[in-house]
């Protein structure tokens, strides 16, 4: 994945160039902290890749790609507060280090800075990109609220889950590709195809995230093991387990998901049911299904297979995270 390293270097240099030196430190230091622990920075890379695919100017797409990255990190700060998460990317979360008030404020400031990164675009393109960006933000908030609602709902369906992860995760990947394509001057049809490619890859990525929460290597994954089980999250693993559990297993699942507890017996018992109902295998097949749907949208774009190959490689790479 040499091409990925090249994009990561471009993004890393741009982020370093835009390190916050403003005052007060209490606001800007946490913003620099989370941006500097940015993981693989896949979403800004998606912007740049789409721009490259349609022969666009990467320098023109660079600030909008940072907008996506800053926005993404804003959502992570607030998600961690809502989830009371102690770790993010194997580092203490901002609210753990600085308190909830600083977490809320630094997240808000990142969101505002994200919008400012679009200001160099010419008016018509600025309007298109900001419209997509704002709609994405609104939909993402809807997805987050659905995720919260699911914790206390007893009748969450598979379709509910797909709607939630599409809103919470899929649309950000989708918009990253779409914005990059539009900045490069791609047609509306091609930009829409890139959007749908990103949406399904994002769905597959989130399903993999749910899978790794339980079955992943905690040290490599960088989060608390089985945090979704502790929090009673109605993930795809839980929903498939409900569907395939016998009466005894169903009763046990309902018992554990009726309470929030840090009791390790809860995780052990739920994991055992997940394995007995083979939801791990079923989830991996579902991930591959959305990967294939996403890649089918690449076929709609009238460019060579060679030009589209990095996107197929990226999709496959995202779904081969350590487990």
Q: What is the pLDDT of residues 97-136, one digit of tens each?
A: 999 999 999 999 999 999 999 999 999 999 999 999 999 9
DSSP calls for 244-305? H--HHHHHHHHHHTTS----HHHHHHHHHHHHHTTHHHHHHHHHHHHHHHHHHHHTTS-S-H
Q: What is the pLDDT of residues 172-208, one digit of tens each?
A: 999 999 999 999 999 999 999 999 999 999 999 999 9
Identify the H or E element spanning 229: helix 227-230
Q: Look at residue 91 and give its three-state secondary structure.
A: strand
Q: Give dist(CA 106, CA 103) in Å, integer.
A: 5
More confident call, 222 vs 53:
53
| 148 neighbors 82 (Cβ within 8 angstroms) | yes
Q: What is the pLDDT of residues 276-305, one digit of tens each?
A: 999 999 999 999 999 999 999 999 999 999
């Amino acid at each position: 994945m040499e091409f990925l390293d090249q994009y990561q270097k471009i993004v890393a240099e741009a982020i370093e160039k835009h390190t916050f030196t403003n005052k007060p430190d209490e606001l800007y230091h946490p913003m620099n902290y989370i941006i500097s622990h940015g993981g693989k920075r896949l979403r800004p890379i998606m912007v740049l890749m789409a721009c490259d695919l349609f022969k666009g100017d990467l320098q023109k797409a660079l600030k909008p790609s940072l907008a996506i990255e800053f926005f993404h990190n804003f959502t992570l700060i607030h998600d961690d507060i809502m989830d009371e998460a102690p770790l993010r990317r194997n580092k203490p979360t901002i609210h753990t280090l600085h308190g909830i008030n600083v977490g809320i404020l630094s997240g808000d400031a990142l969101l505002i800075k994200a919008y400012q990164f679009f200001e160099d675009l010419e008016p018509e393109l600025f309007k298109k990109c900001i419209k997509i960006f704002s709609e994405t933000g609104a939909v993402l908030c809807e997805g987050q609220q659905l995720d919260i609602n699911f914790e206390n709902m007893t009748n969450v369906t598979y379709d509910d889950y797909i709607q939630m992860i599409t809103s919470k995760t899929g649309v950000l990947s989708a918009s990253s590709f779409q914005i990059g394509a539009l900045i490069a001057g791609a047609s509306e049809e091609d930009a829409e195809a890139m959007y749908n490619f990103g949406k399904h890859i994002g769905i597959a990525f989130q399903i993999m995230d749910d899978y790794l929460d339980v079955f992943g290597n905690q040290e490599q994954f960088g989060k608390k093991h089985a945090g979704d089980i502790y929090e009673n999250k109605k993930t795809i693993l839980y929903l498939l387990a409900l569907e395939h559990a016998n009466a005894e297993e169903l009763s046990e699942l309902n018992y554990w998901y009726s309470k929030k507890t840090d009791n390790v017996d809860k995780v052990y018992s739920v994991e055992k049911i997940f394995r007995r109902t083979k939801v791990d295998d079923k989830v991996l097949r579902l991930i591959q299904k959305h990967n294939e749907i996403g890649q089918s949208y690449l076929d709609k774009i009238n460019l060579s297979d060679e030009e589209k190959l990095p996107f197929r490689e990226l999709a496959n790479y995202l779904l081969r995270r350590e487990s």
